[in-house]
Amino acid sequence: MSEEKLVPAIRSRIAVRLHSMGYRVRDIATVIGTTQPAVIQYLNGRRGLYTKDEGLLDKLIEPLVLRAVEMINSDNGKIEPVELLEIAKQLAVIRTGKRYIQSEGRTTDELLLLLRRRLQLELSAAEQYLELSKRTSDDYTRLLLRMIASDSIRHGDIVSQMISWVESGRETSASLPDRAFLEGMLSIEDRASESSLAEKVRTDHPIAGLLLEWIDEDEKKHERTMKRIISLVDSKRGSESIGIG
């Protein structure tokens, strides 16, 4: 199932959760960005039905459910489609990864076995961090655990793609972005990394401090990555200019 086709299922699960908390159909429709008849169909199981990995889906939508509750209570805001698509992407990555893991016995190739084992570790870690995030009442700790889970999901996405490449036997070729575009992105990262949140934002909450440090480290990593891609673009240009490759 494609990510776009998963969105109604995600809306449906959020609607069911909110309805079980006592919220009205009208308010649910507004906050998840759909119509009241659609919500009624969700609640009656006639639309957006999703029976695979329901427990996993409930873990992934938990932050959106909590935000939806806040928005309904304050009568302000709604869940954006991009947020639903992000949940759909995470769910698709985990489900694809599980299919790769289940097919491990079909090959004895050492590289594929290594990648599948790593994929299993990443997906298992993601699910455990998501579960842990539901057990804490501290907002900052919950956010930190979900960020770690998201990292594991992204790692799983990368490993899944590499498994696909290896299994297909296709040659991989890099289509690098335009240098001017990369320089523009690098300037954004430069400005972001110049302002250290951990140094400028003081907080007594130890986990909040860790989150700020996380952001700063991510910005530094983004800057290093952009510089390396620019270097790759320059190297490719140099090779082409002298007829190499």
Give domain limits for the chain: 3-172, 174-245
When pLDDT is averaged across residues 17-45 and rounded to a whole number, the result is 93
Is the pLDDT at 175 greater than 90? The verdict is no
When pLDDT is averaged across residues 24-36 and rounded to a whole number, the result is 94
pLDDT value at residue 203 = 84
pLDDT value at residue 134 = 86
Asked whether 109 and 157 are in contact (CB, 8 A), the reply is no
When pLDDT is averaged across residues 156-177 and rounded to a whole number, the result is 72
- What percent of the chain has pLDDT above 90? 20
Contacts of 110 (CB under 8 A, 6+ apart): none
CA distance 133 to 147: 10
Is the pTM here over 0.85, yes or no?
no
Range from 24-28, 72-76, 153-157, 166-170 carrying the lowest mean pLDDT: 166-170
Is the pLDDT at 100 greater than 80? The verdict is no
